[in-house]
Structure formats: structure tokens, C-alpha cells
Structure 1
Amino acid sequence: MSIIIRDLSYVHSDKEVLFQHLNLVINPGDKIALTGNNGCGKSTLMRIIAGDLSATTGTVSHPEHLYYVPQHFGQYDDRTIAQALRIDGKLKALHAILNGDVSEKHFTTLNDDWNIEERAQAALSAWGMDGIPLSRLMGGLSGGEKTRIFLAGMELHSPVAILLDEPTNHLDATGRQRLYDFVRRTPAIVLVISHDRTLLNQLPAICELASNGLTFYGGNYDFFKEQKGIQLNALQKQLEEKQKALRLARKTARELAEQKAKQNVRGEKAAIKKGIPRIMMGTMKNRAEVSTNKLKSVHTEKAEKLQ
């Protein structure tokens, strides 16, 4: 199943629009980096996809088996590692059965996952957390340890879709390399927010978030930056051309206004010499002013459009 974002918008409680009219389809097996300026709403969008936050308008559909690694873990401090990994229910059912409680509900909860404890320990060990008790509270762990626990959950659960928000922030070189390898080999959908350029270059597509939409780029991060550079250079040239045209339009408007004013003065002097009645001179003056104002309006409108 794909991740499908339809006409998604998010508005802060103070009515400030963070983003609007987002549309995107992430197909099975796609691996995409989500980029954008700081504060554009990348983490907010990922939380909405994960179901941790509600959008203002629009919808998101995604595979049922989705796994989310957030950027911050403080909300898990009062939970055990087993709870953070969402296997505490299975562990309780397993130990209840082993202790003689053969209630049907325990077998339903365990769902034949008899080696859940061994699999959890193996996954944690693979991420450098060998031997840590599943009953230990998350609150006493470092940021790097919490990150590795959540990343171990990817291998434990084998999800259909994975959302990663700055997953390398607290990882050492060994942990980062393991993550790069995992991202390359997993068949799952992967959506990543990161400032780690090496990680971003593992992904074959980039999606750039802005307030008014998402722009998709085929190619890794280096290719994306190259394309953005080309676009920005083209826009810079257009800007310079418009600025040049604006300066010329303003200069032309000033010169024409000065010429028209001089013509009006000369016309008045000539009319006086010819003895034209004052009432007719007034009519001529009004016409000249109307003509001058029209000319000024035309050039002002042109300058405003260029601006």
C-alpha cells in the first residue's frame, strides 16, 4: 500500500498557515528525502503522516504497518524499552503462558511470536545495545541510546513503511553506517528528514516542502542541490533583468514627465503671447494636466508590474 497525501493543510492555533494544498503519492519501495527550509513544517508533516498530529484539512492514508522514529524522545521517558518498542503486550502474554496461564487472550496477543524476547534482544544488540533489560525505563538513557532503541525497532517489526526524523543526530560513525546500510537494503517505503548529507545521498528521490506545496525531484541530494543551483541562477538572471527594466521604466517616466511639464509651460507662454482668452487657457491647462496624469499613470502601472 502507498502513502497518499491529498490536499493537506496545517494551520497553527494563531491562524498562521504552515503549509497548504500538499499532494503526494509514495509508492511501495520508494525511498524519499523530505527537505525544505527550517521551520517549513517537515516534522509536522511527518507527525501527521504518522498519526501523531491531525491536519487542519485534507487526508493521509498509509499502510497499517508503519513505523515512526521521531526526532525527540522525551515523551517516552516514563516508559520501559519494551513499551517504547510496543512489544510489552506480547511479553506479558508470553510470560503469562509460561507461568501456566493458558487463557485464549494471551495466545491471541502473542500471535505465535514465541521468540519475541530473543528477537528484541538480537535487534538491540545489532544496534549496540547488547544485554540491556527490556524492563529498563527510557528516561535514564542518553539521546544516542534512545535513538538506537527506536532504530532497532525497525528490524524487530519489519514495517511496510518507515518514517525517520533526523535519525543520525545522536549516532556515532558505526551507528550511522548501519543506518545507511539498512536504508539501502530494506524493501520498505522510507521517508527521511535529515541534515546528514551522506544519508540523503542514499535516497534516490527528494521531495521539497514549501508553504504552498511539495516539489518532487528524481535523483539523490547532490543531484537535487545541483538542480536547485541551476534554478536559482536562472531566477537570479530573471531578477536582474527585471531590476534593469524597472530602473529604465522609472527613468523613462521621469524624463517624459519632465518633457511634458516643459511642453505645458511653453504652451502657456505661447498662448499668452497670442492673446488667447483666459477661459480657453484654463481649458488647455486642464487638458494638459489630464494628459500628464494619464502618462504618469501608464508608467506607474508598468513600474508596479515590474516590481
Structure 2
Amino acid sequence: MTHHLAAGTARGGPYTVHVTPETAGWDHSSLRVLTLPPGGTHTFAGGDSEWIVLPLAGSCTVTVTDEAGRHIFELVGRKDVFSAVSDFAYVPRDAHATVSSAAGGRFALTGARCERRLPARHGPAASVPVELRGGGSCSRQVNNFAAADVFACDRLIAVEVLTPGGNWSSFPPHKHDEHRPGEESVLEEIYYFEFAAHDGVPGLGYQRVSPSGPGRTTDVLAEVRDGDVVLIPDGWHGPSMAVPGHHMYYLNVMAGPGAERAWLISDHPDHAWVRDTWPGQPADPRLPLYSAPAPSGHPSPSGHPSP
């Protein structure tokens, strides 16, 4: 099984990235990346999965038809992933959705097989918590748009991580491949990467995944570039390294079999001590790269260090 999918190798139908449970060799998590030309339209069926339509670049209209009727969500979107938090639309299982864009753009469809049918909804950018995680050279920004404790889904967990050039994220290496109540949850995970160019030169980074025990053999050391995907069915994942001069973005999509929708992780025992050094270190002064827009009549929120 290939766990590093270089840009262009995971195409399928109208999607530049098309990762399904079948192609990934697992049971729950999906990711599609849809590129629309100006005036472009695409319709898809939710099937047995719930979906979030997230603009990566550009704006769009998402029309959802489900048992409750027809819902139209106008997504303001953003110029690119390095410029702003985006709003998004939730598409329930068994629904049909049409994504249309007057000016064109690139849109992520994050999905997870699920049982419950929840209401179609709009997620405003102003409601997305922007967190600063880590410290020093391990500082990164997390846009928790569909974190487990932020936005209601049945199975899907999805966040965006922005790592300034030269920094490490997904560190200490951590895993979520064992069911240990209250301590660790089983989650399949997809990383989708984009990089900030410098003077027209594309960016790049590196991703490590290492085996976490008997029967868990995922082993990746990959140079990653725009549009690359890394699949993580198990194993210690991290670090994710951004080369100097190029900010790194990745979209994390997670889902698993547990009755509780929770992101519970175990740190690698050799590196867990690094987390204890963060309270004594300031966050990278380049962060946050941006904050969520303020709700009308309220001051703009800023990122904040995690515990």
C-alpha cells in the first residue's frame, strides 16, 4: 500500500484528489479536491457519508437537497489557505449537493462514513476557533473548523494546520490507532498539503510516519509538495517539517469506528518531554498568520496557546 500520494496520482473523475475508503484500504475517511473553472458546477451524492465543503481558494454556492428540503449556502471563501479562515457547508449523508462558483476556485470535500443524518448547515468563518499550538520552532496555527468539540458531525473530524517556514508541526510524534477509553481513540487520518511560494518558487516540506507496534507497519519519509496526500491508517505521525522560507498548510481529515467522536492521542514516549518545554517558550511571532473574522460588532479574536 502506498501511503504517500504525490500530486496527480490520486485523481479520480472530476477530482484532482479522490481518496475513498476503498482506495485508502480503510473504512471511514474520505477526501476530494474539486477544481472548478469560472461558472463551473459540480453535483455529488452524499451516499453513506457526511461531508463538509471547504473553500481552499475562491468562493462558491453550495445547494443541498435532503429530506428536510432545499438549502442554499453562499460561501465567501478566501483567496487562498494562507490568507484567511474560510466558512464552510455541512452536507448530511443521503443528501445531494451542487457546488457552483462564478469566479472558479478549488474546494475540499472532507467526508466520513456515518450512521446519523444531521441537518445541513453553514459554518461561518467567525465561529472557527484559531489556536496557536506548541512553542518556539514547534509553533503552528490550527483552524479548528470541524474539531470534535467545535462543530457537530457524526464521525467526521477536520482541521487546518499552518506551519511557518522552518518550523516543525505534528510534534511530538503521536498516534491514534488503539482504543483505550479516555486515553486514545482509533482514527484514520488524511493529510493534504499546500505550500506558500516565494518569488514564484514552489515550497516543499517533509512528512514522517513510523510504525507504532506489531501489526502497525505504516512507514513514510516523504518530500511533500502542493497537492500531495499522506494516508495514515496507523503509526506515529510527525514531524511535519516546513522548509525555511515557505509556509506549509495541511488539511487533516479523520474518522473512526468509536462510539465517541473524539481526538485522543498518545505521544511518542521518546519525545513526549518536548511538550513540557512549550509553556516556557513564546509562540513564533509570525503567528497567527491570520485570525478568524470578528462577528459583527465584536473585536477580532486572536489565536491563543494551547495548554
Structure of greater Rg:
1
Same fold (TM over 0.5): no
**TM-score, normalization: structure 2?**
0.25
Quick check: which one's helix share is greater?
A: 1
**TM-score, normalization: structure 1?**
0.25
Quick check: which one's strand share is greater?
A: 2
